Amino acid sequence: MVAQVIIRNLDDATVAAWKARAAANGNSLEQELRNLLVSGAKPTPAERYARAVQISELSPPITDVDFEELVRRDRERWHW
């Protein structure tokens, strides 16, 4: 589904500035504003980090694994 958004009551100077920016970027006004809305909807690095922390907190911490031993065994297994 593709949505449409109507923004009312923008002053002429604002619209003119966005038209100029769009033209400078080789875009229509509609495409320039679409690009702005799409990029603004993406999560920020801080938001992505916060979500990763939330996800990691869903699992208990791994404390009883000797990771060095696992790497050592893996290297020995694949040693030609």
Cα 52 versus chain centre, distance: 13
In single-letter form, the type of residue at position 30 comes to E
Q: How many CA atoms lie within 13 A of 69 on its CB side?
A: 3
- In tens, the pLDDT along 44-74 reads 999 999 999 999 999 888 888 899 999 999 9
Domain ranges of the chain: 12-78
pLDDT band at 80 (very low <50, low <70, confident <90, very high): low
Question: What confidence score (pLDDT) does residue 12 get?
Answer: 97
- In tens, the pLDDT along 13-30 reads 999 999 999 999 999 999
- Please give the full DSSP string across 53-73, using - where no structure is assigned: HHHHTTS----S--HHHHHHH
